[in-house]
Each structure stands twice: as C-alpha cells, then as structure tokens.
Chains A and B, each alone.
Chain A
C-alpha cells in the first residue's frame, strides 16, 4: 500500500529518488536545499547506496557522471550558485549521454543573491546553461506531491533518453510541508539493462567508452544531429502542463511552480468579480508546452505571465502563440513572493486595459510591469 506522509519538499525529493532507484547522491551544502543531502546521508545507506558530501558542486556533478556512467541511478542537487558550477558537468553528461537527475531549488540571484524563493534560473535551465547545443528535460513541480511524482518521472526519462533531467523547484516548494502519497519502490532488477555502462568488460569482447570528444567535425556533427533528434522527440512527446478555468478564459495567466499556486488563487478572485481569467501551468519548461498554450490562447484576448523573475518565460510564451496576442508580465524579484491580491490587481488592471484597448482598437503588443518598479 502506498505510504501517506506529511513531508517537507526537499525531503520528499530525496525519498522519492530513493524509491525511484537512486543509489548514488553527491552534493554540497547550499540553502535552501540542504534537507536533500541531509536526508540522503542516512537514507541511501539503508539500501546499499552511496552518499558523498563532495568538495564542491563541480566534483559532485562529476561523481554523478562517473556513477551514472557506471550504470547507477544517480542524482545531485543544489541551488542557483551551485547549479552554475555544475554546468560544466551537465554539458558533459549531455555530450556523453549519461543519465542523471539534477535538482535546482531556486533562490534569488544574481551572484550570491539571497536564499528566498525565486525563479530567476529559468533561462539557465531551458536555454542551455552550459556550453554546446543542448536542452535538458526541465520539470517544474508546484507541490510536494508533484515533486514526488516528477522525481520518479525524472529518473525514468533520464534513463529513457540517456540524458540529464533537471527538476526546477524553488525555495517555497523545497521548504513547504504537505501531505504526500509516496510511490512504491522501483525494482531495480526490472529496469532495462544498460548496455553502455562502464562496468568493466567482464567477459565482453568490446570495450565501452563514455565520451564527448569527437575530433572529426563530421563525426561531431552527426553526434549533434543525433542529440537534436532526441530533443525533437522530447518536444513531441514530453510536453506537460495543467490548465485551470481555461475554457472561457479571456485573460490566460501563465505561471509555473509556486507562482502557479498563487495565480490560481488570483484567478479565483478575478472570477468572483466576473473577470474571465484562467491559468495555464507549464509542468515541463523544456519542452515548453507550446501545444497546450496555443490551444488555451485560441479563444483568449491576452496573456499574463507571472514569475518570480524579471520575465524570463515571457519569450517562450510569445513564441508559443506566434506573438498573436498581447503578452503582459507581472513579476517580483530578489526573493519577494507575489501575493494573490497583487496578481489579482494586475489581472483587474489588464482586464481594464482590454476593454479600453477594444474601444481604442489597439494592436497586439506586450507590456511588462513589476511590483518593484510600479506600473507603466
């Protein structure tokens, strides 16, 4: 029977990882994700797994590369400054096609920034981050339950694509406590054999090489084309999103993670005042749920992107609808969390814009505002 528990987000990730068959974790302390390594430092040993508190984020991701390459389900976690350090290793994981799960519990940047919730690592997560032509499958949970579900999915997809998968949470999701239903333990013996893992030849005739070096340009181009094939397949099959009151929505909010929960409340407040607002919540940030957003926007008059950042997802939203509608933005930065009332005010303001815009016959455009700067 499934276990029902009250768990903190970070601990839930760790437990879900162990249940998904993760047997190797390497990490380095950084707030607000410390409960992940702390939990792993005892829990993994109960299953014959390995926990290493590494000398750096750089070492941690490279240990994961080694363990993942040797065939073990492996994970590392961090927050912004540490994720920046891991980019080298992430690029190598991609180039060498080694599965791994990387967790970023976002705090505010840039630089050392702060330890409060933010979503300012979106660009880094979905536009590359490290060197080379690549994408990560990026999963953005909004609740502790979804963290658990997406952690299981992350390990599954990482093995499936032989690629690192990024779970992009934020300090709220990492620190909040909620009831969760935990999945059963994955039976590792049931998983497909990894015919590429560096286990030593052990009777095999051919050696296995895990490598991202291709000195011949034509070979490296072929390798890149094969990676791009993988991304095209992901874009076709991995888009995930959730909708809320979208059927008749004239103003479609787009928000992910903690911010989506805030927006759902704001949509309720708007509906109570007769404003036809709805919410499209991307669950995969890459691939971006373009198809669902285009559908949600089909009957809408405008979109409102809400983020705890300066508006990093706005471009992807515009592209998803080919810039056919005005795309507004409301964001807070630096660890400031928008309240439902603030977002509702923005909805009311934009709803007013639209009625004014209709009478003035204004063309599609886009505007942005933020709590810090006031509204234009």
Chain B
C-alpha cells in the first residue's frame, strides 16, 4: 500500500493553542510541507509575529525570531540580508500586517526584499479577543464594533494584496482561502510557489490566506468556513495579483480581479 500522507517533519508533533475550527493549523502544515518539498527547511528562518501566530516557533521545526507587533517584515529583512541563503518567511495576522505594520510591509515589498510573507487574514484581532481589524468587513460585529463596522465610524477594510500589487517591488502576490478542499490545494500551491520564488532569488512574495476565527466570529467551525465563501471572498477576491513569472525577467502584472488562481 502506498503511503499518501504523513505529517511533515517540519511540523512539530505538539498540540497547538489554536481554537477548534481555526484554520491556522492547516496553514502551518502547508508551510511545513512546502519547506520540506523544496528541501528548504534546513535553511529556513521564520519570523513569528504578535497575535495568534506568535507561537509559530513552537509548531515549526526551523529557526525562528519573534518580532514586535507589525515589525516582522523589517526583522525578516535583517535576517535575510545577514544570511542571504537562508529562506526567510513571516507569519503575520491582519492586525499585525495591515494596521500597526503597514509601513514595514509596504517598504519590504517596495524594496523587493527577497523574503516570503504569509498573511493570515481572518478579518479580526484574534489573540486579544476579537477587536475590529483593518480587514473587518462592513457590518461585521467585533468587540470594538459591537453594532457592526460602519464606514462612517471606521472606514472600509484594507485590501492588502491589491494595494501591494500596485508596487513594482513584489515578484508574486496571491490571495487564497482554506475554506474547502479545492481552495486548500490551491493555497498549498501558492505557498510553495512563493517560497520557490524566494529560493530563485526573484524577490518579495506574499500569500494572503483567508482564514477563519470561529471563536471571535461567534460561529461554529462549519459556519465559519461557510462565511469565507459567502462574505469574505466577495470583498477579498481570490486570485493572483502579481506574478513576474518563474524566470523573473518578464514582468507580467495580472489584473487584480477575482477568480481562480492562474
């Protein structure tokens, strides 16, 4: 009998602190698989951020630095410059990356820093208990938008992938989701592609992963998965927002539209 699946060795055999129904575990597993498949785990250095990704260093078997809130792209920059043949990646939530860390992410992307950012967008501050994030959808209830986010009081959500794709620096930006098996397969492909681009020295790569937070959304795991397709994807369309191509010598900016990944 063929063995078709086993735990990637890069994924530590430990119980995570993630809530039931949280998709962060799936994302960690895919990062671990991609590092293993690319034979990059031995040179990998992760950057854990403040938020629910903060304990990633306990879950992935590679070197790690923990970063201050929002600063992971700056920390990753320092690590990569100091050790250019390391494979450097960050795991950042939407509060971390899209609020307090906007300057760091924009400029790491603009510099074309040869690092990979995994942007875990669950439209809320998870670790601190469900406050409104820059990605919280209009109408979405949170502990700091108890009646639902309104444009009048809090503006509209930030579309990070679209925004960063306007820069010339990034090599590859794709938004994926992990709400159903087909999307998980696509997400895995994107994660591996981003790390592979870094291996090839093509420059800044970012994969935005639409993720669930059943606890702070006040939903069951099933309801949370269903919400991704119903409410989150319509505002944050899946797709490739930037891809300079494997060889990196032909800049092909794909249209920032929804649809299946290229």
Contact = CB atoms under 8 A, between A and B. Distances in A.
Interface of A: 23-24, 26, 50, 52, 54-56, 58-60, 62-72, 74, 88-89, 92, 96, 198-203, 207-213
Contact of B41 (A59, A74, A89, A201): A201
Interface of B: 41-45, 47-48, 54-55, 57, 61-68, 71, 74-83, 86-87, 103-104, 106-107, 111
A50 B54 contact: no
A89 B68 contact: yes
Contacts of B104: 55, 58-59, 62
A67 B45 CA distance: 12
Please list the 7 inter-chain residue pairs (A to B) with the smallest Cβ-Cβ separation, ordered nearest first: A66-B78, A67-B78, A70-B82, A62-B74, A200-B43, A66-B75, A72-B82
Nearest to B60: A207
Contact of A200 (B63, B77, B103, B106): B63
Given A65-B75, A212-B66, A24 B86 contact: no
B88 to A, nearest CB: 8
Contacts of B103: 55-56, 58-59
Contacts of B54: 213
Contacts of B42: 200-203
A207 B81 contact: no
A9 B45 CA distance: 37
B45 A70 contact: yes
A23 B87 CA distance: 20
B198 to A, nearest CB: 13
B78 A200 contact: no
Contacts, number: 141
Contacts of A88: 68
Given A58-B103, A59-B107, A62-B104, A69 B77 contact: no
B74 A211 contact: no
Nearest to B43: A200
| Main SS at interface, chain A | mixed
B79 A66 contact: yes
Contact of B66 (A26, A50, A209): A209
B64 A211 contact: yes
A176 B47 CA distance: 41
B57 A69 contact: no
Contact of B45 (A59, A68, A96, A198): A198
Contacts of A24: 78, 81-82
B63 A64 contact: no
Contact of B65 (A58, A203, A211): A211
B71 A59 contact: yes
Contact of A66 (B44, B57, B65, B87): B65
8 contacts: A26-B78, A52-B81, A59-B74, A62-B68, A68-B78, A69-B78, A198-B65, A208-B63
A65 B78 CA distance: 7
B67 A62 contact: yes
Contacts of A69: 65, 75, 78-79
Contacts of A65: 65, 67, 71, 74-75, 78
Contact of B71 (A50, A62, A201): A62
Best-buried of B75, B78, B79 by chain A (most CB within 10 Å): B78
Contacts of A96: 65-66
A132 to B, nearest CB: 12
Contacts of B87: 200
Given A50-B82, A52-B77, 11 more contacts: A23-B82, A26-B78, A52-B111, A62-B68, A62-B71, A62-B104, A66-B81, A66-B82, A68-B78, A212-B66, A213-B55
Contacts of B80: 66
Contacts of A62: 67-68, 71, 74-75, 78, 104
A96 B68 CA distance: 11
Contacts of A211: 48, 57, 64-66
Given A50-B81, A74-B82, A213 B64 contact: no
A200 B64 contact: no
Given A71-B83, A200-B83, A209 B63 contact: yes
A67 B79 contact: yes
A208 B86 CA distance: 14
